[in-house]
Structure 1
Amino acid sequence: MQETIILDLTVIFVVATIIACIVHYFKHPTIPGYIIAGIIIGPGLHYLTQIPYIQGLLGVTSGFSLITNRELILTFSEIGIAFLLFIVGLEIDIKKLRHVEIVSSLGGVLQFLILFPLGYYIAWLLGFSQLESIYIGIVVLFSSTMVILKTLSDKKQVDTLHGRIAIGILLIQDFLAIFALLILSNLGNVTLFGFIESVLKGFLLIGIFAIAGKYALPWAFKFIAKSQELLFIAATSVCFIYTFLFDLGGLSMAIGAFLGGLVLGNSPYNIEIIGRVKVLRDFFATLFFVSLGMQIIFTDIFGLLIPLIVLLLLVLVSKPFITLLIISLFGYKKHPSFLTSIGMGQVSEFSLIIIAQGLALGQINERIFSITIMLAVITIIITTYLVKYQHKIYKNIHPDLEIFELMTTRKQQMEYLPRNRKAEVLLFGCNRTGQDILQTLIKDGKEVLVVDYNPDTIKYFIDKKIPSIYGDMSDPIFLDTLKLKPPELIISTIEDEFASKLLLNHVKKVNKKSTIVVSATSIPEALSLYKDGADYVILNHYIGGEHVSKMLHSALKYKSRLPTLRHKHIKGLESRKNTFLKVKKRKEGIIKQL
């Protein structure tokens, strides 16, 4: 027994590692890779060993399987669901909902009211039963929190306007998904009394846990947090306690784990807990996604083809279109609306959890399960490429998006452009490097216009009466409609090769005499930008290393200068810290004003 468990885990993790390395090399998300690994281990090997030549070559019988203890693997995968949702709860900051409260709450609800009935009706037309159609309607509704957050983080767009809108909508979707889990877990005994009893029981447990999370847990964790080992054990215990009590109450274990994470997520120790628990999460989550692939059945592949194609069009085309429409109706321009919506065209990990629960409860069959898994793998991979080339796609289709610009019900006032002041320098991106450049230019008496896609930054400069405007350098329409006389110097601190080349091409057409300084992340990228006509390319790590080496050389040669340099550095850091705190205080209500 022990040997078979070790063998099963060895096979799963070796195959998952190989496939994960391949998908990572091609810069795909790892979740589809784990599912593909499960397909190879499960149905792939099963059907392969039905070929007589393969049977003779490998010396196996028909239907041979490497995994002998599937029930134990499925049990591990259920624990994986719990840890996955526990981490999701830990990472959710409820306070963030206030920053995008209108478009995220109302927009998320509108998306539900449109997409769920649409998915349900299409599934019903395809011949699925009422309960199966409900599941399909829920599956197509939710977008992947993990995939979208990863793409935003990789592209450094978490704090952009479209990044915040996307995160806000995802938070609403996560709460709706948990509510869907609660409802669907009790659909097997559909009676009005049973349903009301389950809801009341759920709210009672939530209320008890909320009180415990507000009063008891902070007191306990204040002592526990002194030891990193105790912190890990205590956090894991909270996850299992919440999971067990919800299961004992006849409710979903996944909901209990999520609420446990949510309670700890709003504690001062959530970052440390996430760092400690992530190892367990990754272990069990890998088993969960691999087990999903193992359970796919390809008995009627041609019968699945038409429903799969229809649902792919619904997720990849209709869902982004509906999201674009909703965001535009809330008054946002077509560029941030497009960037938000294009990343939403995939199936969520919550959908996989919900569909796995439905299969375990016997509410759906393997056919629906297989369609959902294939839908998730295909849409996640396609979305990765859509987000990667989002600026090029927008450049080609932006004329067709003008109708969404006309739908905006209110105009955004995110600019300060005094008529009597002519910009001598145009500064794109006022991050850490941009702040230093801005301070130097102002000291030199230059008239600077700041362009940034962080609403907090622009609001701060508007309050300071510094000429500024909200905009994205990668938006060709924004560059065309800027309607400013080309300044003598244009500086970009945004490390985006496509956006930098777009800026270079635009400026060349308007005024070839302007000096252009752009930024890059690598030497090949910098050389490519020089080739395209950049007057200078900022390489932060190169300049930073050069500056530090010169400073250390001077300090070693003249040791008396080091205290002066230290004092100057501390003063600069404190000034920047104060600026950051002022910007942070203005976060609430900014999106509302947009």
Structure 2
Amino acid sequence: MIFSFFLIFAGAAALATLALYFRQPLLIAYIVLGMAVGPFGTHWVENTHLLTEIAEIGIIFLLFLLGLDMQPKSLVSTLKKSSLVTIASSVLFALMGFLLVVNLGYPTREAIVIGLCLMFSSTIIGIKLLPTTVLHHKHAGELMVGILLVQDFIAILVLLILGSMASGLDAINLIRPLIALPILAALAWGAVRYIVLPLLMRFDRFQEYIFLLALGWCLGVGEAAEVMGLSYEIGAFIAGITLASSPISQFIALNLKPLRDFFLILFFFTLGARLNLNLLDEVWLSALLLAGMILTVKPILFRFLLHRFSESNHLAWDVGFRLGQISEFSLLIAFIALESNLISDRASVLLQTTAILTFAVSSYIIVLNFQNPIAIKDELRRD
């Protein structure tokens, strides 16, 4: 593990340096490094399953930080505005993906799974490349968070359905998240009010204690959510929301950002490392067509739907391009479907290749054309 970490972070530092010199997004450097030294490259890093589990912590912290920056009243208002757009776009993306994949010669069952995977956009790309001032204080940030959250709820339902298909659909497993969500939110709110906040107020002089309590709270609620049939990510977001009203929430957010970035580097590395390069010959053309459709249609469709629901044309295009890729949840759905024998290795590699292509090209589009923290042009760089 120590040698793997050495390769990942020393290699990432070297490739990131080259990427900055040649004005390329850093995310691409991490993915290329994973492809180069992973089990399908030089074989220097073999245990990608363990690294994948570790890297998931980065997504958990990302959702926790999102929750810390959003007041509960603002969240309710945002979800009301974004639900119709998200549901309509999800249905259309799934249908278009299904039709394209069927016409590419894939079986109907695999086409359904791939179509479902196209419904979602990347939380990491969308939020990491959004300026902090936009995320915290502007309508665009609230709108994006609302869309991504509704997509996360839909993704959880899809995961539950796929997970139970091997033994037949279980209605209880499908209803459980709808019951568990408000229960978890109520318990978390009560725990914050009567336990966490009093502790923070009593020991607010000890920064190390605040850091530890925040980590424990985030991962504790995440674990509770997983046990209740939701997900670590949803639990972490609830943990953040319940702390958002605390005056110390921004201090916690600032201290957790470096830790989040540490794990997100691992996430993008493992994304590249898990790509089976031996099957690329069979899927490269299909992946190009699928990625091309996503990168073209998603921004246009989001723009149309958002503009239709009273958003300005400029804002609709901005949000559309920032959400113009597929999601980390898409990869998770692909892995679960593969383990359940719902899709073949070829279909799984098609989804992984499509994800990498859309992550890469979408990152280029955002970095070169919209305000973001790692923009190449000075006039677009906003922290």
Q: Which TM-score band applies after superposition, normalised by the shorter structure? A: 0.7 to 0.9
**2:154 corresponds to 1:179:** yes
Secondary structure at the residue paired with 2:131? Answer: helix
CA contact (8 A) 1:96 1:168 kept: no
Q: Matches of residues 98-117 of structure 1 in structure 2 within 5 Å?
A: 104-117=82-95
Q: Alpha carbon RMSD of aligned pairs, Å? A: 3.6
* Superposed CA offset, 1:363-417 (max 9, x none): 54443443334333333333344346659xxxxxxxxxxxxxxxxxxxxxxxxxx
Give unpaired runs (5+ residues) of structure 2: 371-376
How many angstroms apart in 1 are the aligned matches of 2:266 and 2:167? 37
How many angstroms apart in 2 are the aligned matches of 1:102 and 1:257? 21
The structure 2 residue matched to 1:342, chosen from 309, 318, 321, is: 321
CA contact (8 A) 2:134 2:141 kept: no
Q: Quote how far apart the aligned CAs of 1:297 are.
A: 0.6
The structure 1 residue matched to 2:38, chosen from 31, 42, 48, is: 42
How many angstroms apart in 1 are the aligned matches of 2:334 and 2:64? 18
How many angstroms apart in 1 are the aligned matches of 2:47 and 2:319? 43
**2:210 corresponds to 1:221:** no
Q: Matches of residues 499-518 of structure 1 in structure 2 within 5 Å?
A: none
Secondary structure at the residue paired with 1:346? Answer: coil
How many angstroms apart in 1 are the aligned matches of 2:97 and 2:44? 37
CA contact (8 A) 2:55 2:266 kept: yes
CA contact (8 A) 1:39 1:296 kept: yes
Q: Quote how far apart the aligned CAs of 1:342 are.
A: 3.4
How many angstroms apart in 2 are the aligned matches of 1:389 and 1:70? 31
CA contact (8 A) 2:121 2:324 kept: yes
The structure 2 residue matched to 1:206, chosen from 144, 167, 181, is: 181
CA contact (8 A) 2:162 2:337 kept: no
How many angstroms apart in 2 are the aligned matches of 1:27 and 1:145? 23
Secondary structure at the residue paired with 1:141? Answer: coil
* Superposed CA offset, 1:495-525 (max 9, x none): xxx9xxxxxxxxxxxxxxxxxxxxx97xxxx
Which position in structure 2 is the counterpart of 1:245?
A: 224
* Superposed CA offset, 1:125-148 (max 9, x none): 323344533442243333334434
How many angstroms apart in 1 are the aligned matches of 2:266 and 2:10? 12
CA contact (8 A) 1:188 1:363 kept: no
Q: Quote how far apart the aligned CAs of 1:361 are.
A: 5.9
- Give the fraction of aligned pairs with identical amino acids, expressed as a percent: 27
**2:306 corresponds to 1:308:** no
Q: Quote how far apart the aligned CAs of 1:37 are.
A: 1.4
The structure 1 residue matched to 2:119, chosen from 120, 135, 141, is: 141
| Bigger share in helix | 2
Q: Quote how far apart the aligned CAs of 1:323 are.
A: 1.7
Give the number of aligned pairs: 369
Which sits farther off after the overlay, 118-127 or 65-74? 65-74
How many angstroms apart in 1 are the aligned matches of 2:186 and 2:310? 38
Secondary structure at the residue paired with 2:239? Answer: helix
How many angstroms apart in 2 are the aligned matches of 1:334 and 1:288? 34
How many angstroms apart in 1 are the aligned matches of 2:309 and 2:16? 40
How many angstroms apart in 1 are the aligned matches of 2:35 and 2:126? 24
**2:10 corresponds to 1:32:** no
The structure 1 residue matched to 2:351, chosen from 361, 364, 372, is: 372
How many angstroms apart in 2 are the aligned matches of 1:253 and 1:361? 21
Q: Quote how far apart the aligned CAs of 1:39 are.
A: 0.6
Partner AA of 1:168 in structure 2: L
Q: Quote how far apart the aligned CAs of 1:83 are.
A: 3.5
The structure 1 residue matched to 2:307, chosen from 328, 346, 349, is: 328
Q: Quote how far apart the aligned CAs of 1:276 are.
A: 2.9
Name which one, 1 or 2, has greater alpha-carbon Rg.
1
CA contact (8 A) 1:37 1:293 kept: yes
How many angstroms apart in 1 are the aligned matches of 2:180 and 2:18? 44
